[in-house]
Chains A and B, each alone.
Chain A
Amino acid sequence: MPQEPPPEPAPAAPAEGAEGEPAVPNPERLYSLTGTAAGSERASIDLVTLIVAAEDPPPTLTPEQVSLLRLCTAPLSVAEISAYLSLPFSVVTILLTELMAADLVQARAPIVRQIVPDRSLLEAVMHGLQKL
Chain B
Amino acid sequence: MDFKSSDTVPGPRVEDHLPHTTQAAVKIVIVGGFGVGKTTMVGSVSEIKPLTTEETMTQAGVGVDDNYGSDSKTATTVAMDFGRIGITEQLVLYLFGTPGQERFWFLWNGLFEGALGAVVLIDTRRLEVSFDVMGRLEERGVPFVVAVNSFPDAPRYPVPELRAALDLAEWVPIIECDVRRRASSRDVLMTLMHFLHTLATRRAPV
Seen from chain A, the residues whose Cβ lies within 8 Å of a Cβ on chain B are 1-2, 5-6, 8-9, 25, 27-28, 30-35, 42-43, 45-50, 52, 63-64, 66-67, 70-71, 73-77, 79-80, 82-91, 93, 108-113, 116-119, 121-130, 132
Bound-state CA distance A9–B110 (Å) is 10
Given the known interface contacts A48-B26, A88-B1, A122-B200, the answer about A31 and B60 at a Cβ–Cβ threshold of 8 Å is yes
Residue pair B85, A129 in contact (C-beta under 8 Å): yes
Which one of B7-15, B121-129, B149-157, B164-172 is at the interface?
A: B7-15
B1-54 residues at the A interface, CB under 8 angstroms: 1, 3-6, 9-12, 17-20, 22-27, 45, 47, 51-54
Q: Which residue of B lies closest to A132 (CB)?
A: B186
The answer to whether B23 and A88 touch across the interface, beta carbons within 8 angstroms, is no
Q: For this complex, into which size category does the number of interface residues on chain B fall?
A: 35 or more
Q: Is the CB of A125 within 8 A of B55?
A: no
Taking a contact as CB atoms under 8 Å apart, the answer to whether B106 and A74 are in contact is no
Distance of B179 from chain A, by nearest CB (Å): 14
The answer to whether A5 touches B200 (Cβ under 8 A) is no
* In contact, B3 and A64 (Cβ under 8 angstroms): yes
The smallest C-beta distance from A57 to any residue of chain B, in angstroms, reads 10
Chain B positions within 8 Å of A119 at CB level: 197, 200-201
- Closest B residue to A49 by CB, please name it: B25
Within the complex, the shortest CB–CB distance from B121 to chain A, in Å, comes to 17
B contact residues around A70 at 8 Å (CB): 6, 9, 11
User: Does B111 belong to the interface (CB within 8 Å)?
Assistant: yes
Taking CB atoms, residues of chain A closer than 8 Å to B109 are 8, 42-43, 45-47, 89, 93
User: Known: A50-B22, A116-B200. Contact between A83 and B114, CB under 8 A?
Assistant: no
